Amino acid sequence: MNAILYAVTVFIWGSTWLAIAYQIGDTPVVVSVGWRFGLASLALFFILIARNALPKLTRENHKMAALLALCLFSNNFLCFYAATQYLPSGLNAVVFSLAPILNALNLWWLDKRRPTGTFVQGALMGFTGVVFLFGSQFLNADMDITIFLGLGLSLVGTYFFSMGNLVSARAQKKNMPLLPTTAWAMGYGAIYLFAIALFMGHSFAISTTPLYVSALVYLAIIGSVVGFNTYLALVGRIGAAKAAYCTVLFPLVALSLSTVFEGYEWTWMSALGVMLVIAGNLRVFGVPEPVKRWYLAHR
C-alpha cells in the first residue's frame, strides 16, 4: 500500500506542472489559479460534509488558514504559473524540488536551528544543479533574458511554498484540524485571487477549450485534492522525512513529460544539473533504506 501511495503521489505532483503549462494562454493567470483553488476548496468541503467531519474552526484556525492561503494557495502559484510562460514546465518542477532546502534555511533564519554540515553540502549541490540547468537553457535560447525572469518567479514561488510549510507545521503543533483548515485556506486563497482579478479589471470567464478545462479539473481535483490526501496518508504511514523523497523524484516525472509534450531538449549541462539537484536532495535526506538494503545485498 505504501508503494502505491508513493507512486501515485510522485506521478500526480510530477504531472501537475505540465497541466499548468496547458492553462497558460487567453485566461489571465490570476483567474486560472483562482478557479483552481475555488473548485478544490468546494470539493474538499463536499468530502468533509459527506463524512460529517467538518468541525467549527476557531478564530485562530481561520487566521492560520488565511496565512496558508497567502503562502500555499495563491501567491506561490501565481509565481509558478507566470514562470511557466518563460520556462519548460519540467524546469519549474526542478526549482520547486529545492523547497526542503529552503525549509531548512527558513528554520535557521527564524528559529535559529543551525543546519548541519551534511545539509550545507546538499544545499550547495542542489543550487549548483539549478545553475547548470538554467545555464543550459540560457545558452540554448540565444541569450534570452526572460529565462532569468522565469527562474526568479519560480524561486519566489518556491519560497512562498516553504514559508507555507512552516505555517502548516505550527498549525499542526497546535492540533488544528488539517483538512478543514486546508479547505478554508483554499477557499480564502480563491477569494483573494478573485479580488485581485476584480481590481485588475479581469473577467472571471475562463477558456472553454477542452485542453484548458481538462487541465483545470485535473489540477483542482487530482492535483490539489487527491494528491494532497495521498501525500498526507503517506506521511501518516511512513513519516514526513521519508515522504519527503517525493520531492526528489517528481521532477524526473515532470521533465520526462516536458520532453515528450513540450519538446524539452536535453544537453550534458541539463543532465548534470538534474543529477546534482537529486544528489543534493539525497544528501540532505539520506539514502532511502530500501536502496541501502538493495546495495548491501548486491555488492
Cβ neighbour number for residue 233 with a 10 Å cutoff = 16
- C-alpha 167/C-alpha 275 separation (Å) is 31
Q: Which of 94, 140, 137, 103 is nearest to 248 (CA)?
A: 94
Cβ neighbour number for residue 203 with a 10 Å cutoff = 10
User: What residues have CB less than 8 Å from 34, skipping those under 6 apart?
Assistant: 189, 190, 193, 194, 197, 204
CA of 284: how far to CAs of 99, 137, 163, 184, 287, in Å? 12, 26, 19, 33, 9
pLDDT at 140: 64
User: What residues have CB less than 8 Å from 171, skipping those under 6 apart?
Assistant: 61, 64, 68, 178, 181
Tens-digit pLDDT profile for residues 73-91? 999 999 999 999 888 888 8
Tens-digit pLDDT profile for residues 90-136? 888 888 877 777 777 777 776 667 767 777 787 788 778 877 877 76
Which sign does the torsion angle of CA 86, 210, 194, 58 carry? negative
Instruction: Count the helix, strand and coil residues of the chain and give each as a percent rounded to the nearest 5.
Output: 80, 0, 20
Could you state, in chain order, the average pLDDT of each consecutive group of 10 residues for the chain (299 residues)? 80 90 91 96 94 86 91 93 87 81 74 72 79 71 72 92 81 79 93 97 94 95 86 66 67 85 82 83 65 58
20's grid cell:
499548468
pLDDT at 255: 84
User: Domain range for residue 92?
Assistant: 2-298
The tally of domains found in the chain comes to 1
pLDDT at 193: 97
Helix (H) or strand (E) holding 98: none
- C-alpha 295/C-alpha 80 separation (Å) is 37
DSSP annotation string for 180-216 = HHHHHHHHHHHHHHHHHHHHTT--S-----HHHHHHH
pLDDT at 151: 87
Angle, helices 117-140 vs 146-173, to 10°: value is 150
pTM above 0.75, yes or no: yes
Q: Are 48 and 180 in contact (CB under 8 A)?
A: yes
The alpha carbon of 105 is separated from its chain's Cα centroid by a whole number of angstroms, namely: 18
User: What residues have CB less than 8 Å from 247, skipping those under 6 apart?
Assistant: 96, 97, 99, 100, 281
pLDDT at 298: 60
